[in-house]
């Protein structure tokens, strides 16, 4: 489940004051009989915990050997250990994985398209530099849906990234490798990016906390754009304290959005929370799990009231079914059009088609989006948060292969509108879903 805040809310502070429970769709058969918790030592309770002890020796090599699709490139192990030993700051001792559309000095920034990288990045992206400055140690760069175009983690020449527990299910994307690296204990923190849910969906599917800040709160300098107007840099971790501490370190710096003086830093004692008046597109059992989470929120003292969700979903459809997708072609379309043989076919089709959007269509959809934004923010007036499912389902690799665009679109039902409305969001695990025979272990969140 995700909680979406007000536009002025920015990212939650390190205490997690703005976070709410959230539904994820994960929980699977383990790698070789071990759950990620068994591999990395269990969940920690704060920044110092880092979600448990790091993988060492044979355990790390076993996981990497079984999951070569997670990382695109690693740092030398001796260098990582030396940096961990010398680290200082609030994130000292925590290992950081970075999505490979974000610059890390010394690594080519491929965006999961090897031909796109002209050479190793000369410097870290500002978000990476700030986390390193707070003591985090980069361990490598991770796989993704090519050019951050997808929510399933399967659109990459480095291989589709599989779910951490049920390998026949998708990891979620586009920040796929980052999420699975943390879920398997190969990193304590991971940087993702999020335009339509790419930081929240994989966090949810992998049972992690995923924080997506208000646009501009974290610098996108050194990040390959997807839709420049709506891109955000996100963080994933195994617990809220670690994620919050990392977001606090990553936010701010040159060129970022100033923190409003009236931004709420925590929910009131009796928070007023909006929930959807209907839950379209949900798999069997998922709506029941969401309802159970809402009831727990009520029992905890929150005032929960329904709001019309259709205008939110109408805005969400504008991102890819409308003209707003033209921003994807503006970002990387010239490269995609010139290198069709180097680009994933599904990604290439999406981006090339975006280049055919007319200027008048884009103007009309931008105007339509503004009307929907005003309507939806009006519906949220007086509420402290909006609670929605992060995703309505957790597809298998085979389901995505059969219908790559349709399944991907369904996964983003409840995430696509968030950045269009300049909202912050937190995806937090909240329960499990028994998906029935043939689907493996219950999905958990």
List residues with catalytic annotation.
99, 174, 198
The closest alpha carbon to 24, from 442, 286, 407, 390, belongs to 390
Buried residues in 341-354 as b, exposed as e (16+ CB within 10 A): eebbebbbebbbeb
Buried residues in 289-315 as b, exposed as e (16+ CB within 10 A): bbeebbeebeeeebeeeebebebbbbb
The Cα–Cα gap between 178 and 100 comes to 9
Residue spans of alpha helices (H) in 143-226: 176-183, 200-205
Q: Please give the structure tokens belonging to residue 61.
A: 């090599």
Look at strands 232-237 and 209-212 and give their pairing.
Answer: antiparallel
Residue spans of alpha helices (H) in 87-170: 126-133
Buried residues in 417-436 as b, exposed as e (16+ CB within 10 A): bbbbbbbbbbbbbbbbbebe
- Classify the C-alpha dihedral 122-214-226-1 as positive or negative: positive
Q: Using CA atoms in the order 233, 251, 222, 370, what is the torsion angle rounded to 10 degrees? A: 50
Residue 88 has φ and ψ, to the nearest 5°, of: -140, 150
Q: Is 112 left (phi over 0), alpha (psi -120 to 50) or beta?
A: left
- Partnered with residue 201 across adjacent β-strands are none
- Classify the C-alpha dihedral 236-237-238-241 as positive or negative: negative
């Amino acid at each position: 489940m995700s909680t979406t805040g007000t536009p002025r809310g920015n990212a939650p502070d390190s205490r997690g004051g703005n976070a709410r429970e959230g539904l994820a769709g994960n929980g699977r058969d383990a790698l070789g009989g071990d759950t990620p918790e068994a591999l990395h030592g269990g969940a920690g309770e704060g920044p110092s915990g880092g979600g448990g002890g790091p993988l060492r020796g044979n355990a790390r090599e076993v996981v990497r050997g079984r999951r070569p699709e997670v990382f695109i490139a690693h740092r030398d192990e001796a260098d990582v250990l030396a940096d961990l030993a010398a680290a200082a700051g609030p994130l000292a001792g925590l290992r950081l994985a970075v999505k490979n559309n974000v610059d890390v000095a010394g690594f080519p920034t491929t965006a999961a398209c090897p031909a796109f990288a002209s050479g190793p990045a000369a410097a870290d992206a500002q978000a990476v530099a700030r986390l390193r400055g707070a003591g985090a140690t980069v361990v490598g760069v991770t796989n993704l849906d090519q050019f951050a175009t997808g929510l399933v983690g399967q659109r990459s020449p480095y291989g589709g990234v599989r779910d951490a527990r049920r390998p026949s299910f998708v990891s979620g994307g586009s920040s796929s490798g980052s999420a699975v690296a943390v879920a398997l204990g190969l990193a304590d923190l991971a940087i993702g990016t999020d335009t339509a849910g790419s930081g929240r969906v994989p966090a949810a599917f992998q049972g992690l906390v995923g924080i997506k800040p208000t646009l501009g709160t974290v610098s996108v300098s050194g990040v390959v754009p997807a839709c420049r107007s709506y891109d955000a840099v996100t963080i994933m971790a195994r617990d809220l304290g670690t994620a919050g501490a990392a977001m606090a370190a990553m936010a701010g710096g040159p060129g970022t959005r100033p923190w409003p003086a009236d931004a709420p830093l925590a929910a009131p004692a009796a928070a007023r929370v909006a929930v959807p008046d209907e839950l379209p597109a949900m798999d069997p059992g998922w709506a029941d799990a969401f309802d159970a989470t809402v009831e727990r929120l009520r029992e905890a003292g929150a005032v929960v009231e329904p709001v019309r969700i259709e205008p939110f979903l109408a805005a969400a459809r504008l991102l890819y079914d409308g003209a707003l997708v033209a921003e994807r072609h503006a970002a990387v379309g010239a490269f995609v059009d010139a290198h069709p043989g180097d680009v994933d076919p599904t990604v290439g089709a999406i981006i090339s088609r975006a280049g055919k959007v007319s200027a008048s269509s884009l103007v009309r959809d931008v105007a339509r989006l503004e009307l929907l934004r005003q309507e939806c923010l009006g519906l949220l007036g007086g509420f402290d948060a909006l609670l929605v499912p992060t995703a309505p389902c957790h597809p298998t690799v085979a389901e995505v292969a059969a219908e790559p665009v349709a399944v991907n679109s369904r996964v983003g039902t409840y995430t696509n509108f968030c950045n269009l409305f300049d909202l912050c969001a937190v995806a937090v695990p909240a329960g499990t879903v028994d998906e029935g025979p043939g689907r493996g272990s219950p999905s958990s969140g």
